[in-house]
Structure 1
Amino acid sequence: MNTTLPPPTAAWRWIALVLASLAMFGNYYAYDALNPVVDLLREQQGLDYGQIGQLSSAYNVAALLVLLAGGYVIDRFGARRAIVVFAAVCVIAAVVTAAAQNYSSLLAGRFLLGLGAEPLIVAVTAVLAKWFKGKELSFAFGLNLSISRLGSASTDWSTSFASPLYSNWHDPLWLATGVMSAGLGAAVLYFLMEKRAEGRFDLGEAVQTDKLELKNLYRFSASYWYIVALCVVFYSTVFPFRYFAIDYFQQAHGLSREGAGILSSLLPFAAIVATPIFGLWVDRVGRRSLFMAAGSLVILPLFLAVTYLPPGPIVDLVVPWVGSGEIPLTLLLSVLLLGGVFSLIPAVMWPSVAYIVDERRLGSAYALMTFCQQIGWLIVPLVIGWLNDRYLAGPENTAGYAPGMWVYTALSSLGLFFAWKLWRAETGPGAHGLESIRTRSA
């Protein structure tokens, strides 16, 4: 550490945060860009639901390969170079996907996106740690997540503000390419900014990325594995549902594309607003495993409610400067509750690992947790796509979507079981403090 240089000023830190977060905004927008065009891919490209599921899983296969490689690339090139390199990979992936003329090219585009997007997230994490360590690190991570999730919400809102593009499936993906290109521009600006700052401020030692240590898996406690299991089933439920949601709302419930996009956007938008609030709340009161169990209980009936309950009265849902849509009340309430759970469980789950894993092994613990998450996230879209095809799901046979909704419900049941096991473990003699530790007593 160079003690002759002053620490970076607040203005430089926040500029670094904004530029890195804009790269993540483009990343999330590009990832979710397929969601609003699922029906167009089926109608215009002739894809079935099984193939749509494979497009989602191609990303996860690439992500698994990147996680197995660990942090070597980022360690080799440094975070400031890595953020540019991987953002460029995401742009290339977006171009390949938007320009695709056949299914193989679409698969290649999504695979490339997985190779770029996951290490880009790691590189941005390293960037934030470099600028905010010992300062407002938690707050900076929260703002970064909020801006990233805004990218997901903006993809859903594009069905309204960019509705003329949805006459075909290529144009919305070209829009996503433009947004990701702007993210690459932000990454380049960050590279130049950090290069300029190096001679003016003390940016600390280079941060090394932890690698996945498979040889010591047996050393993690039961509570850790309960959290990993909850993570797998939770993300394997919510993210695949979001992937098919806009098409499902259109085909099974007769919503317009604009209304379906606005309704789907409530999930990431809830995370933008509520995740930091839930995080502060849990830090004040403790009871982390109980909160995870409560969230798992709330999610359990929601997919069946969407499938079987009467739609209820129509609500005109308006998002200022974006658009509006007519939404059945049952759908609206179910998605709002799902958005609350989507905010609550991640806000509690990821920080809880730090309480039960030795600090020296925390990087390996998070890498393993993410690796397992990707496996579940890979499999479920394939299952849902196969079930939709097997039972001939479509607007003429809306009951064909029910088997997939039962899969989400079964996963939610597993989540409740693992959350209950975690609560039992953390209220017993081998507890790690998830129930008792509060900000004021930590």
Structure 2
Amino acid sequence: DMKVNTAQFMALYAWYSWPNVVLCFFGGFLIDRVFGIRLGTIIFSIFVCVGQVIFALGALLNTFWVMDMGRFIFGIGGESLAVAQNTYAVSWFKGKELNLVFGLQLSMARIGSTVNMNIMGWIYLRVRDLLGYTGPSTLGLTLMIGGVTCLFSLTCALILAYLDKRAEKLLCKEQGKTGEVIKLTDVKDFSLSLWLIFVICVCYYAAVFPFIGLGKVFFIEKFKFSSQEASAINSIVYIISAPMSPVFGLLVDKLGKNIIWVLCAVITTLASHIMLAFTFWNPWIAMCLLGLAYSLLACALWPMVAFVVPEHQLGTAYGFMQSIQNLGLAIIAIAAGMILDTRGYLFLEVFFSACVCLSLIAVVMLYFVNHLTGGDLNWSAKKREKLQKVA
């Protein structure tokens, strides 16, 4: 409808990511020091709603730069909202099924992504039938209808703020007031283990999200799938992630050994990309493996941050992690669009495989750094629980 090429389409992903290169870090800092978790979550939810409305208006007006601007504003709120969500989770559940909670968070996000990938096309067709024609107006109205979920997110943020405030009174719990002074220069004091976690995060997600963004056409071109079949297989990663994330979260909670689980996830993801790049095996196998690996990595990787930074710096640490993840995603999204337009899908898959290899190297380094420094990232759950009781 908008008549854009692959590079322009992928730029929409990049515009979402660019503001978060800076704002995610400052979003975490603001949560820790200025707004607090409750007000910060509400403010970021409002940015998401406004951004989605502008994005839809850009389509209605057939003005692509307005859509870019909408994605930029949406991005200001989107990833900072994820930082607030992670900080909420650690505040409530650290030491109590934290991996399961991260799994449930991811599960809900993937349900939303799956619904979006499979329902928005249907909504578009209904709007087209109602208007009697296709074009920017049809797309814009479809996007506006999709924006209802953003209003629901804002409502949840308001309810959560009320519940958290109520719990603070009932439990006499000081929320986000540790008495510690947080400085932006604390970043230089982050441990090597934390920086390796950041590298794993950036390199891994760079090979997942841009691939899914371009995956539909890949399955149509290489495996001769129909449009409907391609949409189905492209969404299977999120479909699998929805139920499996809490299952893997519970498994990691019960067994511990977070680094080993991350290693398994990265190796499985590499195998999936190699299968898609160099074989004509049924791609459902590779995509199902990718879905399992993606779910496992999130449940094991993100909670590790809470083990290597002081609690009063969690918002800052998660914010910085989101920031550099978005820097990587913005650059990779643009690069992926350019590679696809000039070199084709085989070269693109090799590129994604190289990103996963970098992540694999970082995981191995993290294992040895953690072992040599006596870190607790790879402790069993029983050992962690035993030492917590002693403490």
TM-score normalized by structure 1?
Answer: 0.73
Deviates more, 1:232-241 or 1:214-223: 214-223
2:36 counterpart of 1:66: no
Separation in 1 of the partners of 2:163 and 2:319?
32
SS in 1 for 2:200: helix
SS in 2 for 1:432: coil
Query: What pairs with 1:70-85 in structure 2 (closer than 5 Å)?
Result: 70=27, 71-72=29-30, 75=35, 78-79=39-40, 81-82=42-43, 85=46
Separation in 1 of the partners of 2:169 and 2:347?
57
Change (3 A) 1:186 1:63: closer
Change (3 A) 1:409 1:219: same
List per-residue Cα deviations over 1:40-90 (Å, max 9, x = no partner): xxxx43322222222211111122242253354871882574265234324
The answer for unaligned runs of 5 or more in structure 1 is: 1-43, 312-329, 392-399
User: In 2, are the aligned partners of 1:86 and 1:119 still within 8 Å (CA)?
Assistant: no
**C-alpha RMSD over aligned residues:** 3.4
2:77 counterpart of 1:107: no
How far does residue 432 in structure 1 lie from its aligned partner after superposition?
0.9
User: In 1, are the aligned partners of 2:168 and 2:174 still within 8 Å (CA)?
Assistant: no
How far does residue 150 in structure 1 lie from its aligned partner after superposition?
0.7
Change (3 A) 1:96 1:68: farther
Change (3 A) 1:401 1:213: farther
Change (3 A) 1:65 1:288: closer
SS in 2 for 1:45: coil
Change (3 A) 1:134 1:59: closer
2:317 counterpart of 1:365: yes
User: In 1, are the aligned partners of 2:307 and 2:376 still within 8 Å (CA)?
Assistant: yes
How far does residue 207 in structure 1 lie from its aligned partner after superposition?
4.4
Change (3 A) 1:64 1:56: same
Change (3 A) 1:213 1:266: farther
User: In 2, are the aligned partners of 1:211 and 1:364 still within 8 Å (CA)?
Assistant: no
List per-residue Cα deviations over 1:284-343 (Å, max 9, x = no partner): 2232212222222222232232133124xxxxxxxxxxxxxxxxxx21000001111101
Deviates more, 1:268-277 or 1:211-220: 211-220
Change (3 A) 1:438 1:411: same
Separation in 1 of the partners of 2:230 and 2:273?
16
How far does residue 124 in structure 1 lie from its aligned partner after superposition?
4.8
Residue aligning to 1:351: 303
Amino acid at match of 1:243: G
Amino acid at match of 1:119: S
2:277 counterpart of 1:307: yes
Query: What pairs with 1:415-430 in structure 2 (closer than 5 Å)?
Result: 415-428=359-372, 430=373
Residue aligning to 1:222: 192
Separation in 1 of the partners of 2:165 and 2:103?
26
Report how many aligned residue pairs link the two structures.
371
Separation in 2 of the partners of 1:405 and 1:149?
23
Residue aligning to 1:174: 141
Residue aligning to 2:231: 261
TM-score normalized by structure 2?
Answer: 0.82
Residue aligning to 2:201: 231
Residue aligning to 2:14: 57
The structure that is helix-richer by fraction is: 2
How far does residue 235 in structure 1 lie from its aligned partner after superposition?
1.0
Change (3 A) 1:91 1:190: same
Separation in 2 of the partners of 1:308 and 1:258?
24
User: In 1, are the aligned partners of 2:273 and 2:353 still within 8 Å (CA)?
Assistant: yes
Residue aligning to 1:277: 247
The answer for unaligned runs of 5 or more in structure 2 is: 129-133, 386-391
Amino acid at match of 1:191: L
Amino acid at match of 1:149: R
User: In 1, are the aligned partners of 2:265 and 2:293 still within 8 Å (CA)?
Assistant: yes
Separation in 2 of the partners of 1:232 and 1:94?
26
Percentage identity across paired residues of the two chains: 22
Amino acid at match of 1:260: A
List per-residue Cα deviations over 1:173-228 (Å, max 9, x = no partner): 63343232244156347637966997899365554799995423332222221111
User: In 1, are the aligned partners of 2:241 and 2:294 still within 8 Å (CA)?
Assistant: yes
Separation in 2 of the partners of 1:176 and 1:213?
40
User: In 2, are the aligned partners of 1:297 and 1:416 still within 8 Å (CA)?
Assistant: yes
2:115 counterpart of 1:154: yes
User: In 2, are the aligned partners of 1:59 and 1:111 still within 8 Å (CA)?
Assistant: yes
Change (3 A) 1:440 1:252: same
List per-residue Cα deviations over 1:384-409 (Å, max 9, x = no partner): 11111113xxxxxxxx2111111101
Amino acid at match of 2:277: T
List per-residue Cα deviations over 1:80-112 (Å, max 9, x = no partner): 742652343243234234325133222122112
